[in-house]
């Protein structure tokens, strides 16, 4: 075998291993995990990832806006996932795993998204939100919209924002 054939064979083998590994992660590890005891759709790990995303997007502030996790935003995501078709719900859950695991290579700190400090999580989510890859950017924005609906409809958030609203107040 000459050098050129060896390099081509090595490159093809490496590409095959990478593709096979990615297919395994997505198809076997990430896809359709068993829900945790606390949620109808989210696995324990998916809930941790969602909690980290919510804490990053809605950290709360000194003016009284609550942290997203204190107003059950992840519960709202779980309710939403249980109300939509299973395939779409699995795609959204897949996005949670992608955010978590693709952050491992971010700045070469070998830590998943949900285990990073908030400043690093802010940078990672900003990269998703401003990505040049339209599919990545729009998928994240859709996820952010789902979280925003859960956060903004919370009575505690409305009250902290100065919105006086009671369900059924219109007659």
The DSSP output letter for 166 is: -
Alpha-carbon distance 95 to 42, whole Å?
Answer: 12
Q: How many CA atoms lie within 13 A of 159 on its CB side?
A: 7
User: What radius of gyration do the chain's Cα atoms show?
Assistant: 20
pLDDT tens for the chain, residues 1 to 171:
776 665 565 665 565 555 555 554 555 455 567 777 899 989 999 999 999 999 999 998 888 899 999 999 999 999 999 999 988 998 899 999 999 988 887 666 778 899 999 999 999 999 999 999 999 999 999 999 999 999 988 889 888 888 877 665 544
Q: What pLDDT was estimated at residue 171?
A: 45
Closest CA to 127 of 102, 90, 145: 102
Per-residue confidence (pLDDT) for residue 55, from 0 to 100: 96
Let me know: does 150 contact 77? Beta carbons within 8 Å.
yes
Q: What is the pLDDT of residue 95?
A: 93
Other C-beta atoms closer than 10 Å to the C-beta of 91 total 14
Q: How far is CA 123 from CA 24, 58, 101, 127, 133, in A?
A: 28, 14, 15, 6, 17
User: How many angstroms separate the CA atoms of 70 and 112, rounded?
Assistant: 23
CB atoms within 10 A of CB 131: 15
pLDDT at 36: 75
Q: Please tell me the predicted confidence (pLDDT) of residue 60.
A: 87
């Amino acid at each position: 075998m000459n050098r050129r054939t060896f390099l081509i064979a090595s490159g093809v083998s490496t590409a095959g291993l990478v593709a096979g590994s990615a297919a395994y992660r997505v198809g076997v590890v990430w896809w359709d995990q068993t829900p945790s005891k606390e949620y109808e759709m989210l696995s324990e790990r998916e809930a941790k990832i969602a909690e980290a995303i919510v804490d990053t997007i809605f950290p709360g502030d000194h003016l009284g806006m609550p942290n997203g996790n204190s107003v059950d935003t992840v519960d709202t995501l779980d309710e939403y996932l249980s109300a939509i078709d299973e395939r779409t719900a699995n795609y959204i859950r897949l996005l949670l795993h992608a955010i978590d695991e693709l952050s491992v290579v971010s700045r070469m700190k070998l830590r998943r998204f949900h285990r990073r400090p908030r400043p690093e999580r802010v940078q990672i989510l900003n990269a998703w939100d401003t990505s040049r890859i339209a599919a990545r950017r729009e998928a994240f924005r859709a996820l952010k919209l789902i979280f925003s609906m859960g956060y903004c409809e919370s009575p505690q958030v409305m009250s902290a924002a100065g919105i006086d609203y009671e369900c059924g107040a219109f007659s």
